[in-house]
Amino acid sequence: MSRIQLKGITWGHSRGITPLLALAQRYNELHPDVEISWRKRTLQEFADFPIEKLTEEYDLLIIDHPWVGCAAATNCVLDLSQHLSKAYLAEQEAHSVGYAHLSYAYGGGQWALAIDAATPVASYRADLIGTDIPQKWEDVLSLARKGKVAVAAIPIDILMNFYTFCIALGEKPFQREDEVVSAAIGKQAIETMKELYGVIDRRLFQFNPIAVAEWMSSSNEIWYCPFAYGYSNYSRTGYAKYLLHYTDVVSFDNTPLLTTVGGTGLSVSAFSRHKEAALDFTQWAVSPLCQQTMYVQHGGQPGHLLAWQDPLANQLTHDYFTNTLPTLQRGYIRPRYNGYLHFQDHAGDPLQQCLQHNGNPADALEKINNIYRESLKAEKQLI
């Protein structure tokens, strides 16, 4: 029997690797002629190495949706709308968790399927905070001044939260080509963020959402995190020393904050020598059958709505999915033009410097806008 060997690349957290290993094992049992191996990268490697280069080596790729502009420009992964049935894609869209499915649609193509869904949500230690879970932004600040609040404060997460506060103040970013957001709103957003970032533990400027969750679930120092990309793993009994509970984010001026869509998609390399097998695995892995059962049971955070609504999935995670679904359903999709990643890779740095060292918001905003214009110039050069 001839054997087909597929190689996949994902990210190195239990949420990113463990469910894919389980699916690969089961798929091989159903299709003995197909073996799938998965390699993991760190989150930093995920951000630093161009995905389009990985498509030359791997058949299956877990991607972030802001990359799809590059995918559309280079055609290095398959446009799934040309390979999967309209009925299948319609079912995926109808059962998307928020904008997870549509975030991988760009330029008339569907460049990945939403295998995982996430957006910044609130987390807390129920055994420490009791019933005093913050409901308003003012509650967060009050608790932060007591030293009980953590937030991911590396540049990329600060940038995602900057989008959130611009929207909360009345303006969506990226509506113009000369500036990310108006000077008035941008400066006000940074000043608002300073109220929190000015009182947090300085070590947090080196922490991503995983590091925050690990700290909260391994010691009793931190009671609450107002917004960080959610990880249902930490709300599962036995995963960490202490259980985390997750919930919706707080209200700002009586309106719930709107956070920035994350999650991951599963795509198929255009260079794969076994496209048919890769496509078959892809649609099987993102089907409601797998998403509701093996995927979530092995630590995954599904992209399919039926899995988020599943009673057993919620029992397994202390209602993680039910409690955070409202946040995901109203999430904000980042730009995806082929050039945006240049902006995302660099624009968080001046923001972090400003928040960490009490800098001038106008100076930070000017640097952000310069990076934005550079990213648009890169996009136009590719057209």
- Please choose, from the candidates 143, 144, 121, 145, the residue with its C-alpha nearest in 3D space to the C-alpha of residue 132: 143
Equal CATH topology for 4-118+262-329 and 120-260+335-382: yes
> What are the boundaries of each domain within the chain?
4-118+262-329, 120-260+335-382
- Could you give the residue ranges of the DSSP H alpha helices within 125-178? 126-129, 137-144, 155-168
DSSP 8-state assignment for residue 171: -
* Whether domain 120-260+335-382 has CATH 3.40.190.10: yes
Answer yes or no: are the C-beta atoms of 216 and 123 closer than 8 Å. Answer: yes
- Please choose, from the candidates 281, 232, 263, 276, the residue with its C-alpha nearest in 3D space to the C-alpha of residue 8: 281
Which tokens go with 158? 């600060």
pLDDT at 359: 97
pLDDT at 49: 73
Give the full edge-to-edge strand order of the sheet including 245-247.
224-229, 120-124, 245-247
pLDDT at 85: 97
Which tokens go with 36? 């799938």
The amino acid occupying position 126 is A
DSSP 8-state assignment for residue 93: H
Distances (CA, A) of 341 to 49, 64, 68, 262, 311: 12, 10, 10, 14, 37
CATH number corresponding to 4-118+262-329:
3.40.190.10
Q: Long-range contacts for 73-79 (Cβ within 8 Å, ≥24 apart)?
A: 73/338, 73/382, 75/270, 76/51, 76/52, 76/269, 76/270, 76/271, 77/111, 77/112, 77/267, 77/268, 77/269, 77/270, 78/111, 78/267, 78/268, 78/269, 78/270, 78/275, 78/279, 79/109, 79/110, 79/111
pLDDT at 48: 66
**pLDDT tens digits, the chain, 383 residues: what are they?**
569 999 999 999 999 999 999 999 999 999 999 999 999 987 667 666 788 889 999 999 999 999 999 999 999 999 999 999 999 999 999 999 999 999 999 999 999 999 999 999 999 999 999 999 999 999 999 999 999 999 999 999 999 999 999 999 999 999 999 999 999 999 999 999 999 999 999 999 999 999 999 999 999 999 999 999 999 999 999 999 999 999 999 999 999 999 999 999 999 999 999 999 999 999 999 999 999 999 999 999 999 999 999 999 999 999 999 999 999 999 999 999 999 999 999 999 999 999 999 999 999 999 999 999 999 986 655 44
pTM: 0.95
Distance CA 282, CA 58 (A): 14
Q: What sign does the CA torsion over 35, 96, 304, 235 have?
A: positive
